[in-house]
Amino acid sequence: MIVATAFFMLLFLGMPVGIVLGVAGMVGILDMGGGHFLAMVPDRFFSGLNLFPFLAMPFFILAGEIMNRSGLTMNLVNFAQALVGWLRGGMAHSNMLASVMFAGLTGSATADAAAFGNTLVPAMKKAGYSGPYACAVTAAGSIIGPIIPPSTLAIIYGSLMGVSIAGLFAAGIIPGLLLCLVCMCLIAATARRLNLPKDDRGPSLSRILKEFRRSLLALILPVFILASILTGITTPTEAAALAVFYALFIGVFVYRNVRLRDLYAMLARTALITGIIFLIIASASILGWWMTFNQIPQLIASGFLSISQDPHVIVGMIVAMLLFIGLFMDINAALIILAPVLAPLSLAIGLEPVHAGMIIILSLTISLMTPPVGACLFVLASVTGERIEAITRSLWPFILAQLLVLIVTAYWQPITLFIPRMLGLAN
């Protein structure tokens, strides 16, 4: 009880979540009755980061920064616009499609929201879309980032739980594409009622081919990353390092718009983003040790199983709990704390580890666009000046559509396991 009180009190006071997790864990350790337990805190703090796959995260983030600076991101947007921009609500459609392509470069929802919030949202507003609707489309598309590989959440989950990261990457492909598809269907279904603008130019094969050639260098990168990891040629960390080299080579020697002096700003931003994530991971490992020592995961699992033995009911409770916790907690922290609790429970009810991991990742990812702590909402509000309340009102139809994808993914294993099983990465 004292740990929960300290956790929510500090969170309510506005303390950074990384500090909240560490302090709550230390309060729990002190409450165990011995200051000698505190000697374990530094060890747990640093050992929580002592996992080689975690090195992939800063490399993927830096690769995305370089791609943005070199202009390759806008080439992807233009290619998406050539493919679907001629439809009613074409810029909304192209926003979703570009999010899929951009997800293959960074694996980060907030990076997607920031990049498109600065570029696509102003363009959509200029074309006649309302600001809140443009932000809602961008938020809905941004959560595809942590699902389509490479995914930072998959790296964290796979590293902590000993699940194949390549398998999790492969498992995210179909759910990520489904998220895009249902949102595009929703846009198409409501485009006429909302009077969404339509590009005056019709479909053009020559334009598609022209934009494809321009975006080819950007499209090659996610294909290379995914192919090299899934075939076992490289580890995720090695693939991420090669992605940085590729992006840097293209920006410096092909497009020649990335200079050495630009690297400082990109490295500083990468260090800031990575530092925040790593602080959360390290601090959460302290709280996680306290929970494990007190057998809290076993107690929670027993509580779930005492309510029902039906796997379908247990899966529903897991999803509901993750969606609820995601409303109030940073998803990286929630993943680190809850994965050791829910992974054994999922195994107890017969879920395949890769499928269970994707359910957990997808459930938490959707909470990135739900108030009051939806990170993508805050990013878009800060870069566009739109009010979070207004964005949320336009966003609810997309949230409901993506919840439908979550339910189908949770209860129909082939959606996540078809590709991993085909590649021999899942049972």
SS3 294: coil
pLDDT for 42 beyond 70: yes
Q: How confident is the model at residue 34, as a pLDDT?
A: 59
Give the whole-angstrom CA distance, residue 18 versus residue 225.
30
Give the whole-angstrom CA distance, residue 22 versus residue 64.
30
Better-predicted residue by pLDDT, 144 or 299: 144
Average pLDDT over residues 374-399: 84
pLDDT for 1 beyond 70: no
Task: Give which of 264, 288, 284 is closest to 341, Cα–Cα.
Answer: 288
Give the whole-angstrom CA distance, residue 28 versus residue 89.
52
- What distance lies between CA 99 and its chain's CA centroid? 12
Q: How confident is the model at residue 402, as a pLDDT?
A: 93
pLDDT digits (tens, 9 = 90+) for 145-154: 889 888 888 8
Of 134-143, 190-199, 410-419, the least confident? 190-199
- What distance lies between CA 20 and its chain's CA centroid? 22
Average pLDDT over residues 122-145: 88
pLDDT for 37 beyond 80: no
Q: How confident is the model at residue 361, as a pLDDT?
A: 92
pLDDT for 73 beyond 80: no
Cα 263–Cα 219–Cα 85 angle in degrees, nearest 5? 110
The set of long-range contacts for 203-208, using a CB threshold of 8 Å and a minimum separation of 24, is: 203/86, 204/82, 204/86, 207/82, 208/79, 208/82, 208/83
pLDDT for 177 beyond 90: yes
DSSP state of 61: H
pLDDT digits (tens, 9 = 90+) for 309-346: 888 999 999 999 888 888 777 787 788 888 888 888 88
- Max CA pair span of the chain: 73
Give the whole-angstrom CA distance, residue 147 versus residue 170.
10
Which residues are registered as beta bridge partners of 88? 198
Average pLDDT over residues 223-227: 82
> Whose structure tokens read 């907030």?
110
Give the whole-angstrom CA distance, residue 147 versus residue 345.
22
Contact 150, 240 (CB under 8 A): yes
Give the whole-angstrom CA distance, residue 335 versus residue 21.
13
pLDDT for 376 beyond 90: no
Contact 171, 420 (CB under 8 A): yes
Share of the chain above pLDDT 90, in %: 16
SS3 88: strand
Average pLDDT over residues 353-361: 93
Highest mean pLDDT among 250-254, 371-375, 418-422: 418-422
Average pLDDT over residues 123-140: 88
The set of long-range contacts for 257-262, using a CB threshold of 8 Å and a minimum separation of 24, is: 257/69, 257/70, 257/71, 258/66, 258/69, 258/70, 262/69
Give the whole-angstrom CA distance, residue 368 versus residue 398.
13
For CA atoms 407, 412, 415, 421, the dihedral sign is positive
Q: What's the mean per-residue pLDDT of the chain?
A: 83
Give the whole-angstrom CA distance, residue 212 versus residue 214.
5
Give the whole-angstrom CA distance, residue 291 versus residue 293.
6
Output the pTM of the full model: 0.86
pLDDT for 242 beyond 80: yes
pLDDT for 48 beyond 80: no
Measured in Å, how far apart are the chain's first and last C-alpha atoms?
A: 40
Q: Enumerate the H helices of 191-310 as residue ranges.
A: 205-230, 236-249, 260-293, 296-307
Average pLDDT over residues 95-123: 79
pLDDT digits (tens, 9 = 90+) for 180-223: 999 999 999 988 888 888 777 777 788 888 888 888 888 888 88
Task: Give which of 33, 281, 2, 21 is closest to 152, Cα–Cα.
Answer: 281
Share of the chain above pLDDT 70, in %: 97
Q: How confident is the model at residue 405, as a pLDDT?
A: 94
Better-predicted residue by pLDDT, 320 or 370: 320
Better-predicted residue by pLDDT, 48 or 109: 109
